[in-house]
Amino acid sequence: MTADLSETKPLTARIVPGRAPLNLKEYEAVGGYRAVRKALKEMTPADVTKAVKESNLRGRGGAGFPTGVKWGLVPSLEKAPGKRYLVCNADEMEPGTFKDRLLMESDPHQMVESMIVAGYAIQATRAYIFLRGEYIEAAKNLNAAIAEAQAAGYLGQDILGSGWSMDLHVHTGAGRYICGEETALINSLEGRRANPRAKPPFPAIAGLWGRPTVVNNVESLCNVPHIVNNGSAWFLGLNQGKSKDGGTKLYGCSGRAKKTGIWELPIGTTAREILEVHAGGMKDGLKLKAWLPGGASTDFLMPEHLDLAMDFDTIAKAGSRMGTGLLTVVDDRQNMVSVVRNLEDFFARESCGWCTPCRDGLPWTYKTLVAMEKGEGRPGDIEQLEKMTRFLAPGRPFCAHAPGAMEPLQSALKFFRGEFEATIKKIDQTTASHAAA
Partner 1 sequence: MSTANPSSNPSSNLAADVIKLADLVASASLPPSDGYVMSDEERHEIEECLHHYDDNRAASIDALKIVQKKHGWVPDGAIAEIGRAIGIPAADVEGVATFYNLIFRRPVGRNVIKICDSISCYLTGYDEVRNAISAHLRINLGQTTPDNRFTLLPICCLGACDKGPVAMINDDTHGNLSPDTIPALLEQYK
Q: Which of 109, 176, 249, 305 binds partner 1 (CB under 8 A)?
A: 176
* Chain CA centroid to CA 437, Å: 54
Q: How many helices (H) and strands (E) in the chain?
A: 18, 8
Q: Quick one: CA torsion of 96, 383, 306, 322, rounded to 10 degrees?
A: -50
Q: Which of 34, 37, 38, 83 binds partner 1 (CB under 8 A)?
A: 83
List binders of partner 1 among 336-375 (CB under 8 A): 339, 342-343, 345-346, 349-350, 352
Q: Which of 55, 217, 239, 254 binds partner 1 (CB under 8 A)?
A: 254
- Work out whether 255 is an interface residue with partner 1 (CB under 8 A): yes
In angstroms, the Cα distances linking 189 to 31, 180, 183 are: 33, 11, 10
List binders of partner 1 among 11-30 (CB under 8 A): none
Q: Which of 25, 193, 287, 390 binds partner 1 (CB under 8 A)?
A: 193
Report the alpha-carbon angle 287-293-297, nearest 5.
Answer: 115
Packing angle, helices 45-54 and 108-122, rounded to 10: 110
In angstroms, the Cα distances linking 68 to 115, 246, 369 are: 14, 12, 42
Smallest separation, CB 147 to partner 1 (Å): 14
Task: Tell me which H or E stretch contains 88.
Answer: strand 85-90
Nearer to partner 1, 83 or 396 (CB): 83
Q: How many Å apart are CA 149 and CA 123, to the nearest integer?
A: 18
In angstroms, the Cα distances linking 167 to 125, 170, 214 are: 7, 10, 15
Q: Which of 156, 261, 280, 363 binds partner 1 (CB under 8 A)?
A: 261
Q: Which of 25, 192, 287, 387 binds partner 1 (CB under 8 A)?
A: 192
- Work out whether 142 is an interface residue with partner 1 (CB under 8 A): no
Q: Which of 87, 228, 262, 288 binds partner 1 (CB under 8 A)?
A: 262
DSSP class of residue 282 equals B
Q: Which of 56, 67, 188, 229 binds partner 1 (CB under 8 A)?
A: 188
- Work out whether 133 is an interface residue with partner 1 (CB under 8 A): yes
- Contact residues toward partner 1 (CB under 8 A) are 83, 92-98, 100-101, 126, 132-136, 169, 171-177, 188-194, 209, 252-256, 260-262, 292, 296, 326, 328-331, 334, 339, 342-343, 345-346, 349-350, 352
